[in-house]
Amino acid sequence: MDIRTFSSAIRLRIALRFLTIFSNTMVMPYVVVFFVEQVGAKTATWMTICTGISGINGYLIGGKMADQYGRKKLILIGEFLTGAGFIIVAIGNMPVDSNPYISLIGFIIIFLFSSMASPAYSGFVIDETTKGNRKNVYTALKWTAYLSFALGSLTGGFLFNQFATILFVVVACSSFLSFACVLIWIEDKYRSTLERTVTPEIKGKTKHSTLKVYRVMLRDPVFISLAYVTLTVALMDEQLSYYLSIRYVSLFEAEGYTILGFLRTENTLLAVGLTIFITRFLKKMSDINALITESMIFFIGYILLSISEISNILFLGMAIVTIGEIIFIPSTQAITAEIIPDEFRSTYSGVLGVVSTVGGLLASLFILLTDYFPPVGFTIIYTGIGMFTLMVVLNLKKTNKIEVQ
């Protein structure tokens, strides 16, 4: 994987993605704690739900609009108003006269417009890549995300408590910088193609075809299968934040918090260190076969995490999960890019963004199940989800729409 072979627009996207994730992870992992300290756990829960709903709406609106009006316009709107949202959060968190409800308005704006920009960015990456280099681009983007997340979380851990307001302003500035870079250096290839090939009459019709597009999605078994896989991976990825965190603290008491921290650190470090190596190892494997491999590895790791009471086995389980994650992202994104219609790339990406968000929200419901299921019950649930996911992926291999050679 040679980043120099990527287009200048993709290289800029990788750099801006690093900046965005680095700056965001200095503050976003601490948002729930931020609200809890100011308004209490119950109100903070409702605030978090509000921001989640805002994000879901952003994905749906952004996907549709990016396909109608072009990627660049939506990205610019999203970046600028996300920056404005962080300024509002900073104002609401002023040391002299803080107001958590002003901050809530800012976070709703942030989640809405950052989610609106996300499908446009997804469509932009597909527009700027080819089938030959797309998987490498997704791998580079994922590796960048892991690295920037690790550095941002570390920085935020040291600075957020004392300098939260300043950090919110810094994140706002990173959004404004992204806005400027996209405005100056990015050409909207999709928009240019749209203007050359779509007549005003057709363009007028597409404005009213959203429901038709969704009906096509629901009738496409390949897309439904990929959406299901996206849902289950998001569901499992959040287990460490919900059920598994409760289990480890209950099992290991105070040491459970330390184990959780080490597991997260292990996940990040292994992802940064192994992504390029594993990608090279799997280079000759087709995307669908890689996805089958991921499905087996990923759930084996979570089964170990759910059933073991030995810390060393937990670290082994997390290592296995991380390898599965590394395989999953570029393979799934490459398959998705191949099967979605060119003119609805952002709409499809937006729906997958919603599916991923819903998966994360569903993970929180596992907390409620702790009153009804013993630990082995969760292991059985994980196993069942894993087996069904593997069946779905194996069925994907049978379709003619996916290349298996």
Of 211, 389, 365, the closest CA to residue 299 belongs to: 389
Contact 127, 99 (CB under 8 A): no
Residues of the chain with CATH 1.20.1250.20: 3-139+152-202, 210-396
DSSP string, 39-56: H-HHHHHHHHHHHHHHHH
Provide the whole-model pTM.
Answer: 0.85
How many alpha carbons lie under 13 Å from residue 402 in its C-beta half-sphere? 27
Q: What per-residue confidence (pLDDT) applies to 72?
A: 94
CA–CA separation, 239 and 362 (whole Å):
10
Is 3-139+152-202 in CATH node 1.20.1250.20?
Answer: yes
- The ranges of the chain with pLDDT < 50 are 199, 201-202, 208, 404-405
Helix (H) or strand (E) holding 223: helix 221-237
CA–CA separation, 354 and 153 (whole Å):
25
Count of helix runs (H) and strand runs (E) in the chain: 17, 0
Query: In one letter, which amino acid is 23?
Result: S
Query: In one letter, which amino acid is 281?
Result: F
**Torsions phi, psi of 253, nearest 5?**
60, -130
Contact 70, 191 (CB under 8 A): yes
Tokens of 34: 């931020």
CATH number for region 210-396: 1.20.1250.20
Q: What per-residue confidence (pLDDT) applies to 342?
A: 84
Question: Residue 104: CB partners within 8 Å, gap ≥ 6?
Answer: 35, 47, 50, 51, 92
How many alpha carbons lie under 13 Å from residue 33 in its C-beta half-sphere? 8
Q: Residues 123, 129, 132, 137: is their CA dihedral positive or negative? A: negative
